[in-house]
Amino acid sequence: VLVTDVRTPLGQAVVRAALTAGASKVFLGVAREWTPFAGREALYALENTEVTPLDVTDGTSVSEAASSIGGKVDILINTAQYARPGTAMARRDVVTARDEMEVNFFGAMRLLQAFGPAMRGRGADGENSAVAWVNLLSVYALSNWPAYGVNAATQAAAYSLSQSARADFAGSGVKVVNVFHGPLDDEEHQPLPPPKVTPMALASGIMTALKEGVEQSFVGDIARDIAERWREDPGLLERELTLTKNLE
């Protein structure tokens, strides 16, 4: 299992959940390995893990990681995310939006280009077969919530990319799994009131989705509520979310 970003509480929760679920080896994707981060010592002390330098915003870093471990990855879980609040008009420039796209969309695309071909080739390789590509997506990829409007747009782009990935992996045996979630209980979503999804709850939801073999899963009350309303009437949901554009 490759967890692409373990610098965050979410990435670390996914590592522990994967080990608990029985993963024989978990590769720890670490950007800027020379800089410390909370939880690093405890994470690195876990058995059956291996640190892999990996920065999804750097094509060379992604390519080197794929060359090193690509043939060993059966499940890739992309935990790299970047989120900031605001609509386009609420921001003064496009700098932050570029940063969000670099991680949320182009990061996912770099991973697909570097790791995808080897996983597709090993999709039916018996006991050593690659089995799943897991994307973590904000549920607002389905319908934009203006409080995090630009970020939701990057998530929508990532969601569309995941649908394209299904075509790339078609017939290979590798399943593309989209796990949608509401706001996370993390630093980036600190201004938001509850309910929020804890890293451990999302990690558990990922393992459940993999165990059940589904292609789509919704973790947390907000994600399930938004998904249900989106299925019933996408236009109505869009109007309702527009009326709740503020963080309060």
Query: Would strands 75-78 and 216-219 be described as parallel, antiparallel, or unpaired?
Result: unpaired
Q: Where are the alpha helices (DSSP H) in 107-148?
A: 108-121
The overall average pLDDT reported for the chain is 94
pTM of the model: 0.95
CATH no. of 2-242? 3.40.50.720
> Facing residues of 137 across strands?
180
Give the mean pLDDT of 127-138: 86
Which of the 8 DSSP states describes residue 22?
T
Determine the pLDDT at residue 191. Answer: 78
73-96 pLDDT, tens digit per residue, is 999 999 999 999 999 999 999 999
Determine the pLDDT at residue 31. Answer: 97
What confidence category does residue 192 fall into, taking pLDDT thresholds of 50, 70 and 90? Answer: confident
Two structure tokens written together for 63: 């390519």
193-207 pLDDT, tens digit per residue, is 889 999 999 999 999
Three-state DSSP at 241 gives helix
Determine the pLDDT at residue 247. Answer: 45
**Contacts (Cβ under 8 Å, ≥6 apart) of 61:** 31, 53, 54, 55
